[in-house]
């Protein structure tokens, strides 16, 4: 098992060392992921739970909201 992990590590290490265009593509991919998850989160995904909960803990706020929005049909799940 240990030798298999070492062989996989050497395979990827040697592959990344011999890359030419691959390094440029990886930089582009990482930059794109940073923009998507880092920058866009700041502007388009506000922390709704923290803003709406007021003094409640986030977990308590979510559980109250879920219980309050349950349909009162008498069915149990």
pTM of the model: 0.44
Closest by CA to 1, choosing from 9, 75, 46, is 9
pLDDT tens per residue across span 5-59: 999 999 988 888 888 888 888 899 999 999 888 888 888 777 777 777 777 787 8
d(CA 19, CA 12): 11
């Amino acid at each position: 098992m240990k030798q298999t992990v070492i062989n996989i590590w050497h395979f990827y290490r040697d592959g990344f060392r011999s890359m030419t265009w691959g390094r440029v593509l990886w930089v582009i991919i990482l930059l794109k992921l940073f923009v998507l998850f880092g920058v866009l989160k700041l502007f388009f995904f506000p922390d709704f739970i923290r803003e709406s909960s007021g003094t409640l803990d986030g977990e308590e706020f979510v559980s109250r909201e879920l219980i309050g929005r349950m349909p009162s049909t008498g069915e149990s799940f």
